């Protein structure tokens, strides 16, 4: 009982009384208060760290966009390309320039563009490597396949096509002399080829699909901000 209520105290008259329950509860409340303050402090520290990552992420996004625009602004129109500021994607949106209809082989014109584009692209991103998680080469198609295909058949036929096209693009890029000699290991570890079929079609203002602009190849920069936030939340 002494462990729970404390030792007894004797009065001047020889009597005794136990520690009051109110004193015990006050002590427990102080313990809980200290625990709460410590938890709040930790939560605020995590919040501040996440805020710092978010601010850094926004600045990095802006810096990468400006660097890409400075490097490629003079080439975008002749390549049929555009840069999406929000996703850091450089999109090649002239499908007739990229591949033959329904085929995964590169046109000679697209090979010529890639010869010029990709080494310069890697050069722009070199200064941002500590902030990069990966580069995605993304293949996109329209929702059309042929008039006899169901929506299901069209989607999966286009999935196979979009995946084959991005693999072809990545294979070609890794065969370039400059990439093989200077960037091969980094590209192998950090560049992925992904086919999205028609899951990310481009829409016109009236909400209908823009089939031509939907058929595109994108080079998208993915930063590691999310990974840093996960590390903070995981206590790493």
Q: Is the pTM of this model over 0.85?
A: no
Closest C-alpha to 109, from 202, 117, 128? 117
Q: Which sequence spans correspond to the domains of the chain? A: 46-232
- Check: CB of residue 153 under 8 Å from CB of residue 145: yes
Phi first, then psi, for residue 136 (nearest 5°) are -105, 125
Q: Determine the Cα angle at 221 with ends 217 and 226, to 5°.
A: 135
- How many Å apart are CA 200 and CA 216, to the nearest integer? 10
Question: Do residues 192 and 135 lie in contact, with contact meaning Cβ atoms separated by under 8 Å?
Answer: yes
According to the model, what pLDDT value does residue 195 have?
97
pLDDT of 147 reads 80
Across the 236 residues of the chain, what is the mean pLDDT of every consecutive 10-residue run?
49 52 71 74 65 71 95 97 95 93 94 97 95 96 90 95 97 96 95 96 93 95 74 54
Q: Are strands 132-140 and 191-195 parallel, antiparallel or unpaired?
A: parallel
DSSP at 126: G
**Other Cβ atoms closer than 10 A to 86:** 7
Q: How many CA atoms lie within 13 A of 47 on its CB side?
A: 6
Predicted pLDDT of residue 30: 76
**Beta carbons of 83 and 89 less than 8 angstroms apart:** yes
Q: How far apart are CA 5 and CA 19, in angstroms?
A: 6
Separation of alpha carbons 65 and 88, rounded Å = 6
Homologous superfamily of 46-232: OmpA-like domain (3.30.1330.60)
| Listed residue (225, 218, 201) closest to 89, CA to CA | 218
């Amino acid at each position: 009982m002494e462990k729970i209520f404390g030792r007894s105290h004797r009065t001047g008259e020889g009597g005794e009384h136990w520690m009051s329950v109110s004193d015990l509860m006050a002590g427990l409340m102080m313990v809980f208060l200290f625990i709460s303050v410590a938890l709040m402090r930790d939560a605020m520290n995590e919040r501040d760290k996440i805020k710092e990552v978010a601010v850094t992420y926004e600045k990095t996004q802006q810096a990468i966009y400006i660097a890409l625009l400075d490097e490629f602004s003079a080439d975008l129109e002749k390549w049929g390309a555009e840069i999406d500021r929000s996703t850091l994607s450089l999109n090649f949106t002239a499908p007739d320039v990229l591949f033959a209809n329904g085929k995964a082989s590169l046109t000679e014109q697209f090979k010529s563009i890639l010869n010029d584009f990709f080494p310069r692209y890697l050069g722009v991103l070199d200064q941002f490597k500590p902030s990069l998680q990966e580069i995605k080469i993304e293949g996109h198609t329209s929702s059309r396949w042929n008039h006899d295909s169901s929506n299901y058949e069209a989607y999966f036929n286009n999935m196979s096509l979009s995946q084959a096209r991005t693999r072809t693009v990545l294979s070609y890029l890794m065969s370039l002399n400059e990439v093989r000699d200077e960037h091969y290991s980094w590209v192998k570890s950090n560049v992925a080829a992904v086919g999205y079929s028609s899951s990310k079609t481009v829409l016109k203002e009236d909400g209908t699909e823009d089939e031509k602009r939907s058929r595109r190849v994108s080079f998208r920069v993915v930063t590691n901000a999310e990974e840093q936030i996960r590390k903070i939340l995981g206590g790493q």
